[in-house]
Each structure stands twice: as C-alpha cells, then as structure tokens.
A and B are shown apart, each in its own frame.
Chain A
Amino acid sequence: GAVVSQHPSWVICKSGTSVKIECRSLDFQATTMFWYRQFPKQSLMLMATSNEGSKATYEQGVEKDKFLINHASLTLSTLTVTSAHPEDSSFYICSARRPGSRGNTEAFFGQGTRLTVV
C-alpha cells in the first residue's frame, strides 16, 4: 500500500513556542492531504484540508492563524502549531489519498505526531 510518512513522531515544546510537523507521501503525489487531531481515547477530528499550491481549507472552529498549513509540493504538507499552549497537546495525524483511485477512497495515514506542550 501507499506510504505516508510523518515527522516527528513525538515532540515536547514549551508554551509559546511553535512546532512544525511534516507529512510526506513517499510513493505517490498528493495534491490534497488532510490533517486530523485526536485526543486520548477519542476519535479523529478533521482540522483542515491541505491543497497543493493553494490555501488550506479549515473546518469550523479551527483557528487558521494558529494552525498554519503549507503544501509546497506534491509530496509534502506541513502543519505548524504556533504559540503552542498546553491545551494544544494532542495526537496530530495526516492522511492522503492516492490520486486516480476512483471508487476507492482509502485514506493512508501517517504515523502521527504526539505533541506535548509544557
């Protein structure tokens, strides 16, 4: 299956600092990637859709100025959590679909990034 790689797998940062998370599609080009957030023992919540070459689209309630998304190439999307606070501590996961997969919308997920803000 397709491989989506996410880095780092975990990060601890101080309040007020910014953290960048990378999501790469390793064996296919992804014009669209998705960023989800998962709190412990909870479901995945879609944060935003990352679009190559254009602005990301954010779900309702997600602060676009806090969660900066850049999709600079067909294989890389980045999520930057700016001015992080302890309540931003969570598991962030990206996903992508293989292009041309008509009828099959299987999502390939990265390994996830566990962010802890202290």
Chain B
Amino acid sequence: GQQVMQIPQYQHVQEGEDFTTYCNSSTTLSNIQWYKQRPGGHPVFLIQLVKSGEVKKQKRLTFQFGEAKKNSSLHITATQTTDVGTYFCAGPLGNQGGKLIFGQGTELSVKP
C-alpha cells in the first residue's frame, strides 16, 4: 500500500545548529504538506508544496519538493528552542480529496 517514510525519527541539536528532516513517498504525490506538532498539542499546518522542484521559505525554514514529486525536505537554519516539536510530512491518501497519509514524524529537541 501507499507509504510515506520520514527520517530521522529523532534529532537532538544544540541551539543555533541546523536541522533537516527528509520525507519519501512510495507514490508520486500531487502535493505535500508539512505540519508541526508541539508536545501535547495538535498538528498545525506549515506549508503545502505543489510543483515539481518547488522550494519555499518561511523565515528560517526551507521546504523542498523533489523533481519526481516523491520526496521532500524541511530544513531549519539556526534552530531555536521554539522550534522544538515533531515535524510531519503528509500527502494525499489515494485519490480522494482531503484524506492524508502522514510520515512517521521527526521529533526535534533543541538544547539551549
């Protein structure tokens, strides 16, 4: 069945270091979304990528969508303690609108 794999599962960094999480889909995706979930909280939408090779930036966050639209990455430059949380990528599940399949998530901890 359709799968979305995400690595690494955990990442511990010192404040100021960079962080990257990678997402790979078993199928071509029409779009990919990224969510952040703070400890004890619910997922919050960060961004959606649609175009092959697309790159989007949000301040210190850089999102990329692969040329084949099967992989994506999220890179955070100079992490801060406020970046702590679990980052999930998600793609459409099947062809039915609205359903999402999530990657396993990458839990980021930042040591001040």
Q: How many residues of A contact B (CB 8 A)?
A: 23
> B-facing mask of A91-118, CB < 8 A → 1, else 0?
0010101000001111111111000000
Q: Does A67 contact B (CB under 8 A)?
A: no
Chain A residues whose C-beta falls within 8 Å of the C-beta of B59 in the assembled complex: none
Partner of A110, one of B42, B48, B98, B99: B42
Contact of B45 with A108 in the complex, beta carbons under 8 Å: yes
Q: Does A43 contact B (CB under 8 A)?
A: yes
With both chains docked as a complex, state the minimum distance between the C-beta of B81 and any C-beta of chain A, in angstroms: 20
Contact of B98 with A107 in the complex, beta carbons under 8 Å: yes
Q: Does B31 contact A (CB under 8 A)?
A: yes
CA distance A99 to B41 in the complex (A): 25
| Overall SS of chain A's interface | loop
State whether A46 and B43 are in contact (beta carbons under 8 Å apart), knowing that A105-B48, A106-B33, A106-B48 are contacts in the complex: no
Q: Does B66 contact A (CB under 8 A)?
A: no
Chain A residues whose C-beta falls within 8 Å of the C-beta of B105 in the assembled complex: 42-43
With both chains docked as a complex, state the minimum distance between the C-beta of A10 and any C-beta of chain B, in angstroms: 10
Contact of A42 with B99 in the complex, beta carbons under 8 Å: no
Residue of B nearest to A93 (CB): B42
State whether A43 and B88 are in contact (beta carbons under 8 Å apart), knowing that A34-B100, A105-B33, A105-B98 are contacts in the complex: yes
Report which B residues bind A (CB closer than 8 A).
31, 33, 41-45, 48, 50, 88, 90, 92-93, 96-105, 107
Report which A residues bind B (CB closer than 8 A).
1, 32, 34, 41-46, 49, 93, 95, 97, 103-112
**17 examples of A-B residue contacts, CB within 8 angstroms:** A1-B45, A41-B107, A42-B104, A43-B104, A43-B105, A44-B90, A44-B102, A46-B93, A49-B98, A95-B100, A103-B50, A105-B31, A105-B48, A105-B97, A107-B100, A111-B41, A111-B42
Extra 14 A-B pairs, beta carbons < 8 Å, given A106-B33, A107-B100: A42-B105, A43-B103, A43-B105, A44-B43, A46-B99, A49-B96, A97-B98, A104-B48, A105-B33, A107-B33, A107-B45, A111-B41, A112-B41, A112-B42
